[in-house]
A and B are shown apart, each in its own frame.
Chain A
C-alpha cells in the first residue's frame, strides 16, 4: 500500500474525532462531563450537510454545524447548570435527542451529494516530494483542527481565562468563593464543546463520506470521549489519540478492501475493541489529570 496515501487518509479519518474530543476536553477541564458528544456530532453532521446543500457552500455548512452543535449543547447546559440535572443522564438524553433530531431532519437529504470542500494546495509545501501530497494537500478543516489543538493548549496554559476555566473544573467551591462565575464559565465551555462536536460531525458528512445517512457517526462521539481519558486531559494527547484511532480505522478499512481472510465483522469491530483495550491500559496505569470537580453538580449554597 502507498504510505503517502495511507498517512493522508489517516489525517482525514482522524479529523472528526480530533475536533469532537478537543471540544469535550475543554468541557471536562471546566468540570463538566457531557456524554452527549455523539448526539451533537450527528446533529452537526446533518445540519452541516443541509446548510451546505442549501447554500452550495461547504464552509457555510461547517458554520451551521458548529452553531447547531453549540445550540444543542446549551440545552444540556441549561439542564445541568441551571436545573442541576444529573450530568450522565442528561448527556445520554442529549445523544438520544440528537439521534432522533438528525434522523428527522436528514430524511429528505438521503442520497444527495454535498458540494465538496476544495483541497488546499499549499504553494511550495504542497510541491514537496512525498511530504507534499502526504501532509499539505488537505482541505482547510484538517489544518483548522490542527491549529485548534495548539490554540486550546495555549489558551489553557497561558491565558488568564484558561486558568479560570481550569480552576472552575478543579474545585468549583473554591472558584465560587473567590468570586468566579462558575456557571457562566461552564456554559461557555459547553457551547465550545458543542461547536467542536458539530464541526466534527459535519466533517464526516461533508468530507469523509461525503453524504448523509442515518446514524452515520457510528459511535465516533463515544470514541472521542474515550480519547479524552486516553489523553489525560491534554491537548496534544488528544491529537495523538485521535490520529492513532484514525490509523486503526484506515488500516481495517484497507484490510477489508484488500479482501483478507479475516472476517469483515471482526475488522469492523476492531476500532471499538482497540478503544476498550486502550481504556483498560490507561485505567490500569491509573487515570491522571482528571479535573477535581468533573461531573459534580454545582449549586452555590448561600
Chain B
C-alpha cells in the first residue's frame, strides 16, 4: 500500500507526497505535517475546466462508434431495399421500365411516352414483387388495348450480375404466361430509342414492337413500288461502234407506247459481240453512292447526266443502259 507523507496542511486541503515523489492535493482528514498516511482522499480532476486529451479522444471514439452503429444498418438497409439493382423493360408501345431492388421489389416505374404514363397512373405496383408488377402491367396493357391475345411481348431484363438476370428471367418466364400472350424475355438491354425511332416511319402511329410470331412472318417487306413510266423513253444515244461491228441496239422509236414494266431486278446486261475483247470499263462494277437526301445516280460514261429519274410516286424509273445489248422485252 502506498504511503504518503503529509507535507502541508491547510483548512481546505493537505499536500501529500507519495513514495514515487508525486505530490497531491488531498482532503485534510485531521492530518499533521510529517505524518505518514495511507488511503487519502485525493483531489480529482473530474470537474476540471479544461478537457483532458483522453476525454476528447474518448468523445471522438464514442461519436465514431455511434455513427458506425447507426450508419452500418442504414447502409445495409439501403443496399437491400433502396439501391437499384436491376431493370425490367417492356418493349411495347408503353415502353414501361421497372427498376427493382436486390430483393426484386419495384422501386420505381417510368415510361417516356404518354401511353406508358397512362398505364403507370392506372397501376400501383411500387413495392410489389416484379412478377406481380409485370402481371399487372400486362393486364393493364391488355385492358387498354395496347396488346391483345396472341401477341408476343418482348421483355428485357438488365442487372449487374448474370445470376440476378437469370433469377428474374426464370421467375417471369414461369409466372407470366398466365395471360394469352406470348412472352419473350431477353437478358439484354432493350434496343435504344434512336434505333426504334429510326425503324418507324414518321407518319405512322407508333406501332407496338409487340408482334405476334405470325405477324412477324407476314410482315411486308418494304419495297419500292415502281409506277409505269408515262413519259416516252428518251432515245438512247447511239454510240459509235467500237472497232468491230456489233449487233445493233434496237432502240424503240420515240412514239412507242409506254410499256407497263414490272419491278425490274435484272442487272444491266452487257452484250458483247463474240470474239470481241471487253472494253476496259466493262469489268468494273457500277458504283452507286447512297445519300439519304438525294439519290446520286451514276454518271453516264460519256459525262452526261444519267437518265434515271424519280417518278412522281417516288419510285425510280429505271432505264437500263445497255452496253450494246437488247433488253428482253425489247426483243418482242
Q: Tell me if chain B binds chain A.
A: no
Identify the A interface with B (CB < 8 A): none
